[in-house]
Amino acid sequence: MRLFDTHCHFDFDIFQGDFDAQLKSANAQGVSRFVVPSIGSSNWAQVQQMAAEHASIYFALGIHPYFLHQQSIDELPTLKELLNQRGNQCVAVGECGLDAMVEVDMVLQEKVFIEQVALATYYQLPLILHCRKTHNRMVQILKQERFQYGGILHGFSGSYQQAMQFIELGFYIGVGGVITYPRANKTRQAIVSLPIEKLVLETDSPDMPLNGYQGKPNHPKMIGEILACLASLKGMSRQTIAEIVWKNSNSAFGICE
């Protein structure tokens, strides 16, 4: 079966010792496509280079709210220029969004997020959304900006109602390691109720380790275990789920299967 990790930071230092071996270990588990979102200007060049060297790797360009600083405003013209010059492997704007759990001024967060939504609209690209404790405000902004190109709500850990707000705006829901934790009952129940046609799989490697792997770096090769958990929750076969989420993942990013 073909698996797609729609959100992994495969460019981070922890994977760089022998990247070809890291990639092969994921491929051995059936993971044949990856999207590596950037976090800011510090790794825009790196994710582009990684995709240039590996046909199975796609990337997104954006500014993550966690890494925002006052100079981020000045970097937006560079981001626009990079998007203007992008090739086919640049499939989204992101990772971008709002985060109420970090000590970054929310006025600045909203300004930079709105600018990135505008860029995604201008270039007709989907968004990869980072959202912590800001669901309602993010939905409000997306509606206010009349954003129409969908994307993925990354690292979902909310309620059914919250997920449906984003689905109604054209987004897919990124399902990761959180569903492997029995205590994450609200999120697990939401995933059971959400339409499978609107779900995609992700690891957020090296973050968001699965249950039983706490304290260890996460890896794209773990997608199969997230798939198995999703199949169990949904009462469907792994093969059926794999085929559906493969199609969803490519559709979310406008990639030909």
- Domain 3-253 fold: TIM Barrel (3.20.20)
Model pLDDT for residues 192-227, shown as the tens digit of each residue: 999 999 999 999 999 999 999 999 999 999 999 999
| Average pLDDT of span 177-189 | 96
200 closest CA partner among 46, 125, 166: 166
pLDDT (0 to 100) of residue 179:
97
| Average pLDDT of span 22-28 | 97
The annotation status of 204 as a binding-site residue, yes or no, is yes
The annotation status of 64 as a binding-site residue, yes or no, is no
The annotation status of 197 as a binding-site residue, yes or no, is no
Structure tokens at 94: 């992101």
Residues 6+ apart with CB under 8 A from 21: none
The annotation status of 53 as a binding-site residue, yes or no, is no
In DSSP notation, 95-120 reads EEEEETTSSS-HHHHHHHHHHHHHHH
Looking at this protein, which amino acid is placed at residue 236? M
The annotation status of 7 as a binding-site residue, yes or no, is yes
pTM of the model: 0.97
**Average pLDDT score, the chain:** 96
Domains of the chain, by residue range, sit at 3-253
The annotation status of 219 as a binding-site residue, yes or no, is no
Model pLDDT for residues 99-151, shown as the tens digit of each residue: 999 999 999 999 999 999 999 999 999 999 999 999 999 999 999 999 999 99
Cβ count within 10 A of residue 149: 17
pLDDT (0 to 100) of residue 71:
85
